[in-house]
A and B are shown apart, each in its own frame.
Chain A
Amino acid sequence: MLKIIIPTIMLIPLTWMSKPNMIWINTTTYGLLISLISLFYLNQPNDNTLNSSLMFFSDSLSAPLLALTTWLLPLMLMASQHHLSKEPLTRKKLYISMLILLQLFLIMTFTASELIFFYILFEATLIPTLIIITRWGSQTERLNAGLYFLFYTLMGSLPLLVALLYIHNFMGSLNFLMIQYWIQPLPNSWSNIFLWLACMMAFMVKMPLYGLHLWLPKAHVEAPIAGSMVLAAVLLKLGGYGMMRITTLLNPLTNFMAYPFMMLSLWGMIMTSSICLRQTDLKSLIAYSSVSHMALVIVAVLIQTPWSYMGATALMIAHGLTSSMLFCLANSNYERIHSRTMILARGLQTLLPLMAAWWLLASLTNLALPPTINLIGELFVVMSSFSWSNITIILMGINIIITALYSLYMLITTQRGKYSHHIKNIKPSFTRENALMTLHLLPLLLLSLNPKIILGPIY
Chain B
Amino acid sequence: MKPPILIIIMATIMTGTMIVMLSSHWLLIWIGFEMNMLAIIPILMKKYNPRAMEASTKYFLTQATASMLLMMGVTINLLYSGQWVISKISNPIASIMMTTALTMKLGLSPFHFWVPEVTQGITLMSGMILLTWQKIAPMSILYQISPSINTNLLMLMALTSVLVGGWGGLNQTQLRKIMAYSSIAHMGWMAAIITYNPTMMVLNLTLYILMTLSTFMLFMLNSSTTTLSLSHMWNKFPLITSMILILMLSLGGLPPLSGFIPKWMIIQELTKNNMIIIPTLMAITALLNLYFYLRLTYSTALTMFPSTNNMKMKWQFEYTKKATLLPPLIITSTMLL
Contact = CB atoms under 8 A, between A and B. Distances in A.
Interface in B153-183: none
Contact of A123 (B255, B272, B298): B255
Nearest to A166: B271
A95 B179 CA distance: 30
A151 B302 contact: no
A162 B249 contact: no
A126 interface: yes
A193 B282 CA distance: 21
A105 B276 CA distance: 29
Contacts, number: 72
A158 B287 contact: yes
B30 interface: no
B254 interface: yes
A127 B249 contact: yes
B133 interface: no
B272 to A, nearest CB: 5
B284 A155 contact: yes
A26 B173 CA distance: 43
A351 interface: no
Interface string A106-129: 000000000000011101101100
Contacts of B242: 94
Interface residues of A, number: 31
Interface residues of B, number: 28
A131 B256 contact: no
A147 to B, nearest CB: 7
B276 A155 contact: no
A105 B303 CA distance: 25
A131 B302 contact: yes
Interface in B247-303: 249, 254-256, 260, 264, 267-268, 271-272, 276, 279-280, 283-284, 286-287, 290-291, 294, 298, 301-303
A337 interface: no
A306 interface: no
A123 B284 contact: no
B336 interface: no
A315 B260 CA distance: 34
A29 interface: no
Given A158-B284, A162-B267, A120 B245 contact: no
Interface string A158-175: 110110011011000000
B61 interface: no
Contacts of A135: 301-303
B272 A162 contact: no
From A127, A131, A161, A194, residue with most partner B Cβ within 10 Å: A161
Given A120-B255, A165-B268, A154 B287 contact: yes
Contacts of B238: 90
A276 to B, nearest CB: 30
B337 interface: yes
A377 B129 CA distance: 60
A155 B255 contact: no
B254 A120 contact: no
A165 B290 contact: no
A134 interface: yes
A435 to B, nearest CB: 32
A166 B276 contact: yes
Nearest to B285: A158
From A105, A143, A191, residue with most partner B Cβ within 10 Å: A143
A150 interface: yes
Contact of A143 (B268, B271, B303): B303
A89 to B, nearest CB: 13
B289 to A, nearest CB: 11
24 contacts: A90-B238, A123-B255, A123-B260, A134-B302, A135-B301, A135-B302, A143-B298, A143-B302, A146-B302, A147-B294, A150-B294, A151-B287, A155-B284, A158-B286, A159-B283, A159-B284, A161-B264, A162-B271, A165-B267, A165-B268, A165-B271, A168-B268, A169-B272, A191-B276
Interface of A: 90, 94, 105, 119-121, 123-124, 126-127, 131, 134-135, 143, 146-147, 150-151, 154-155, 158-159, 161-162, 165-166, 168-169, 191, 194, 198
Q: Which 10 pairs across A and B sit closest by C-beta, in order of nearness?
A: A158-B283, A123-B255, A124-B256, A120-B255, A134-B302, A165-B271, A135-B302, A165-B268, A166-B271, A162-B280
Given A123-B260, A155-B287, 9 more contacts: A120-B256, A127-B249, A131-B302, A135-B303, A154-B287, A158-B286, A162-B267, A162-B271, A194-B276
